[in-house]
Structure 1
């Protein structure tokens, strides 16, 4: 399938605006260009949106709680980690995505503003995400959610963090997770895959140069052997992880690594549903207001969460 016409029209509009040069750009410059939420209409309405603070040892994290409906008893909870290459992204850039997923799933969503690289390289963002999961489980009554029905979710680098958080929860005996929702997740540092060769040049929403830049800041000059849960494709044992949904996009440089991770989960005996969205690009879920064809994929993911969380 050729690129979705709604996506193509949006990319044409976006090319009118200057993009950072990832050979020379600083994190501050990329954040200034990227951390402005794209708004194409009124935000989806949910029953409750509440900003709060997650206190963790030595630091505190901003977070935002979305509740789909009032008065229906404690809702299940999905902890959401935003994308942005571990360097950019905010609660606001993913506000509408969380609202849409809340409505589609019937799950409350707790979006976490984890600390960002390069100021906070691996493993600090991951430890923030795992710490937020532990905190949410321990404070479920105050949040008005059901600690027995927990999931993690994230897109792109947030999908990487969600997958790694699920692994930490297994290995550390942490809160039991019912599901992990991985939306075009970063799983590997292999830029030779066909999807990189096909989709990694300038003109798309995500490029090879961007991913090299993101990885360099997250790893901070260390090898993948020194950062074992950064490259989740290299995690040897995936058995015993919670059931998963993995969504990839046809025209995404990360397509092949996401598909490979889904295949490895299945091979390890993890119940895993994988879809590749035809005609779509990296980031398309968060563009659903300008790309209405993304909404059925949000509904599909929401249905998977709804089923997994009972």
Structure 2
């Protein structure tokens, strides 16, 4: 099945399922059984192994973690993680322009990339996007084609934010940068061609955390700029108690025998990363603050309408379910999606994995519903 056929299959094949006491839309992948990797992802993994001594059968299922409570050890690990990040993807957009601007923040310049349809003359909604990378890595380049797709499809003005990273700039630099860009977009909405009352925030992984942080900070500041948030496999807590309570053991993912060697290292590694992030990113800040652990927000009714998406073999899947459940209980319009056969960070392969384009389409659809 080719890319387009697989994308169409995603849009017409889904199940409504119960996970962690809440309803999720489980989007089925073409030519894939439950517990197996999506064929596009499997092909990508096999390609990554070409030319190395590694094989699927040799992939480790247990990972011994160093002492991440030590700042020097955690910093070295974070910089090593940063060096491995980044993925090739494809620009599927047509007629989208890119502008580069600098926003002044408390920690220095915040570069932003701004995408819009070149022929759009009317005011349109805005979506501010924060890239993933564990708060220590990632770049706007990795998510650029994803953002350009949304700018064309909605259409919208999409702002891709190059916020400051730890360990060089520990918390609260990243959330403050991200909130400052929200203020800048609202303040310059006319110049940007944006409807000031139609601003959304989004991000993937750590960027999803930052999007939720911005939504929270927006309500705390009573600016009320954010009308929608799309959280893509977000990291929702840095609290050990939460992780012990909600974290799924590898067996709960029901991966097939062939799939376990491919997904176990990523799941186990992510399950073990909380201490590293607290040490290298949060530092002296309170990790229980909702800007670092959105699950800790006492009043979740403050959040705007939310799309939350995760993957079948993502260590953060259970936390997305719990957050969706608590948002709904608090009266927040929430749509929760799980993508069959996928792993964490799948939007990095925009144009290669159909699920990446599908979740962009889901963001577009929900923004249209929210910003009628």
**Which stretches of structure 1, 4 residues or longer, exceed 6 Å deviation after superposition?**
none
Counterpart-to-counterpart distance in 1, 2:109 and 2:280: 22
Structure 1 residue corresponding to 2:276, chosen from 213, 217, 221? 213
Structure 2 residue corresponding to 1:7, chosen from 17, 38, 41? 41
Structure 2 residue corresponding to 1:266, chosen from 300, 311, 328? 328
Q: Compare CA radii of gyration and give the structure with the larger one.
A: 2
Structure 1 residue corresponding to 2:155, chosen from 84, 106, 130? 106
Aligned-residue offset at 1:220: 2.1
Q: Which runs of no fewer than 5 residues in structure 1 stay unpaired?
A: none
Aligned position for 1:76: 125
Q: Which secondary structure state, in structure 2, belongs to the residue aligned with residue 224 of structure 1?
A: coil
Q: Which secondary structure state, in structure 2, belongs to the residue aligned with residue 60 of structure 1?
A: strand
Counterpart-to-counterpart distance in 2, 1:236 and 1:175: 18
Counterpart-to-counterpart distance in 1, 2:302 and 2:197: 17
Distance change in 2, residues 1:185/1:203 (3 Å) = closer
Aligned-residue offset at 1:166: 0.5
Counterpart-to-counterpart distance in 2, 1:255 and 1:72: 40
Does residue 241 in structure 1 map to residue 303 in structure 2? yes
Deviations along 1:83-116, whole A, 9 cap, x unmatched? 1111101111211111122223322110111111
Aligned-residue offset at 1:156: 0.7
Higher relative contact order (CA 8 A, sep 6+): 2
Aligned-residue offset at 1:57: 4.0
Task: Check the 8 A contact 2:98/2:113 in 1, yes or no.
Answer: yes
Counterpart-to-counterpart distance in 2, 1:123 and 1:196: 31
Aligned-residue offset at 1:276: 1.3
Does residue 197 in structure 1 map to residue 247 in structure 2? no
Task: Check the 8 A contact 1:134/1:175 in 2, yes or no.
Answer: no
Distance change in 2, residues 1:113/1:160 (3 Å) = same
Distance change in 2, residues 1:127/1:223 (3 Å) = closer
User: TM-score, normalization: structure 2?
Assistant: 0.75
Instruction: Judge which range, 65-74 or 263-272, deviates more.
Output: 65-74
Aligned position for 1:29: 80
Counterpart-to-counterpart distance in 2, 1:63 and 1:232: 25
Aligned-residue offset at 1:28: 3.2
Distance change in 2, residues 1:37/1:240 (3 Å) = same
Please tell me the root mean square deviation across aligned C-alpha atoms, in Å: 2.7
Task: Check the 8 A contact 1:54/1:63 in 2, yes or no.
Answer: yes
User: TM-score, normalization: structure 1?
Assistant: 0.89
Distance change in 2, residues 1:271/1:66 (3 Å) = same
